[in-house]
A and B are shown apart, each in its own frame.
Chain A
Amino acid sequence: MPDTTEYKKFTDEELIYRFQRDDYQAFNEIVERYKNKLVNFIFRYTGNRDDAEDYAQDTFLKLYKSKHLYREIAKFSTWFYTIALNTVKTNVKKKSKYSSISISDFDPENDKDYDLKSDDLSPEDTVNSSIEMELIQKAINSLDDAFREVIVLRDIEDLEYDEIAKITGLPLGTVKSRINRGREKLKTILSKKIKF
């Protein structure tokens, strides 16, 4: 068993290879490497911090249970993001089913309590960067799933086009076109509120 410092030198593929042979220290190293990336990716996709943490843990649990399914035909990061994206999509669908029967459906007067905050912001607020970031996040969340996932993977997680194509299971051209269309939609949404 190598030291914990030596695990940091291993590549992702070496770590998962070791974990497949019941080296749990390798799993810990994978979690250390990917937990922040994963939480950030899921948070940007869902817009909810708690959900992001929960879905990230679900993803790591799936990795823990189905470690034997990984084959070295693809990069570990690609395979792991695929698991994460599928997990997030499944959980979001489940949550949307439950949220379809919400209190707001029975009490229309209180709709505003559950809606997003009003887009009408004062110029003073726009100066505040935190608010700007919040606006950007809201704009991302307002996108369709098809555009949102590719925008997050490309412009936030900074993955390559071919890698995104493998994760989403879409052709490369479709990925590129979706990214551009998503950017265009974001620009149109944010141009009303933020000065570029």
Chain B
Amino acid sequence: MDIEDNYKEIRKKLRALPKIDARDDFMLKLQHRINLLDSAETPLEPAKENKPVTENKGFWLFKKPLPGWLIPAAGFGIVIVIVFSFWMIYKSSPDLSEQKIAEQKTESQNITTPVEQSAPEVKSQTDISGKDLAVDMGREKKSEEKSPSLPEPKTDELPVMKQPVDNAPVDRIEDTKALPPVPSNREEKKLPESMIKEKKIEATEPEVKKDEEKSEVKEPEKKNINAIKSDKGIDFYDKKEILKDKTGVMEEKGKNKDGIRSKIDSVKKGIDK
């Protein structure tokens, strides 16, 4: 308080200064500035509200917004999953590459081998047991399902595939060497087995086709017969069979008559004697 007393006079002077009041239009001016501030902020408010919505649109995980720090990790994980799935798909179908290599080899062999050797060997190779046929048919179906776009091997070229590689002429061996190198030893080891399987499949194809042709021939006949039956209302086929039966009987009767005549002739000869 002593300090305050020392400056009592100067404090009096300072307190005696007139109070300056705000002007009358102070409130109006302030209101105007507040309105300007509000009008300047109102267009920004919807943008602020919309901003998080647009940000969260693409990054929702399990009905919750994905945190920002997880977005790069999630993207990297998705890429890894895609790459791994592609790798698994291509790894699980190695037969495709083997088939392609085998086809290339067969094509090269077709170019070099003479047509004369093919015919007899087909018959020898087609003698395959029924079990092998069934197994090969199943594999063939699978391979067809996996690679529908691959061209079907021609039956005319089948004999060429049956020739063993060791017996092939020197030109053919050179051609096979000219083929692109197989990437790994594992595939090289597998190649002969797959070649044999394909040869078996292709050798059995003619038989299968013959059976199919037979079944295909029978079915239309039946259909035609049924159509005829239904159209004419008469069992035309039965009648034809009956006619055939009758002619057979007539022939048998003729045969019997011939037998009687021969017997009569022999009796007559005996009488003459």
Measured CB to CB, the nearest residue on chain A to B13 is A136
Given contacts A64-B34, A190-B10, contact A53 B17 (CB under 8 A): no
Q: Which residues of chain A from 150 to 165 have a CB within 8 Å of any chain B CB?
A: 151, 155-156, 158
Shortest Cβ distance from B29 into chain A, in angstroms? 6
Q: Say whether A36 faces chain B, with CB atoms less than 8 Å apart.
A: yes
- The docked-state distance in angstroms from the alpha carbon of A109 to that of B123 is 127
Given contacts A61-B34, A61-B37, contact A133 B17 (CB under 8 A): yes
Instruction: Fill in one digit per residue for B134-162: 1 if any A CB lies within 8 Å of its CB, else 0.
Output: 00000000000000000000000000000
Shortest Cβ distance from A97 into chain B, in angstroms? 23
Contact of B21 (CB < 8 Å), options: A36, A57, A65: A36
Question: Which secondary structure characterizes the binding site on chain B?
Answer: helix
Contact of B29 (CB < 8 Å), options: A44, A57, A155: A57
Q: Which residues of chain B from 181 to 201 have a CB within 8 Å of any chain A CB?
A: none
Q: Are B17 and A156 in contact (CB under 8 A)?
A: yes
Contact of B7 (CB < 8 Å), options: A35, A56, A180: A180
Q: Are A183 and B22 in contact (CB under 8 A)?
A: no
Q: Which residues of chain A from 169 to 196 have a CB within 8 Å of any chain B CB?
A: 176, 180, 183-184, 186-187, 190, 194, 196
Q: Say whether A52 faces chain B, with CB atoms less than 8 Å apart.
A: yes
Contact of A44 (CB < 8 Å), options: B17, B22, B30: B17
Q: Are B14 and A31 in contact (CB under 8 A)?
A: no
- Band of interface residues on B: 20 to 34
Q: Which residues of chain B from 1 to 38 have a CB within 8 Å of any chain A CB?
A: 3, 7, 9-11, 13-23, 26-27, 29-30, 33-34, 37
Number of A positions contacting B (CB below 8 A):
35
Shortest Cβ distance from B122 into chain A, in angstroms? 94
Instruction: Fill in one digit per residue for A25-50: 1 if any B CB lies within 8 Å of its CB, else 0.
Output: 00000010001101110011000010
Contact of B19 (CB < 8 Å), options: A40, A176, A190: A40
Given contacts A31-B27, A57-B26, contact A40 B21 (CB under 8 A): yes
Question: Which secondary structure characterizes the binding site on chain A?
Answer: helix
Measured CB to CB, the nearest residue on chain A to B34 is A64
Given contacts A57-B26, A60-B30, contact A190 B13 (CB under 8 A): yes
Measured CB to CB, the nearest residue on chain B to A194 is B13
Q: Say whether A137 faces chain B, with CB atoms less than 8 Å apart.
A: yes
Q: Which residues of B contact A183 (CB under 8 A)?
A: 7, 10-11
Given contacts A65-B37, A180-B7, A187-B7, contact A136 B17 (CB under 8 A): yes
- The docked-state distance in angstroms from the alpha carbon of A112 to that of B19 is 29
Shortest Cβ distance from A177 into chain B, in angstroms? 10
Given contacts A57-B30, A65-B37, A180-B7, contact A35 B22 (CB under 8 A): yes
Q: Are B17 and A49 in contact (CB under 8 A)?
A: no
Instruction: Fill in one digit per residue for A53-70: 1 if any B CB lies within 8 Å of its CB, else 0.
Output: 100110011001100000
Q: Are A137 and B17 in contact (CB under 8 A)?
A: yes
Measured CB to CB, the nearest residue on chain A to B30 is A57
Q: Are A43 and B34 in contact (CB under 8 A)?
A: no
Q: Are B21 and A31 in contact (CB under 8 A)?
A: no
Q: Which residues of B contact A57 (CB under 8 A)?
A: 26, 29-30, 33
Shortest Cβ distance from A150 into chain B, in angstroms? 12
Q: Which residues of B contact A52 (CB under 8 A)?
A: 20
Q: Are B7 and A49 in contact (CB under 8 A)?
A: no
Q: Which residues of B contact A156 (CB under 8 A)?
A: 14-15, 17
Q: A155-B10, A155-B11 are in contact. List 12 more A-B contacts (CB 8 A).
A: A35-B27, A36-B20, A52-B20, A53-B22, A61-B33, A65-B37, A137-B17, A140-B14, A156-B17, A186-B10, A187-B10, A194-B13
Q: 3 smallest A-B Cβ distances: which pairs? A: A155-B14, A183-B7, A35-B22
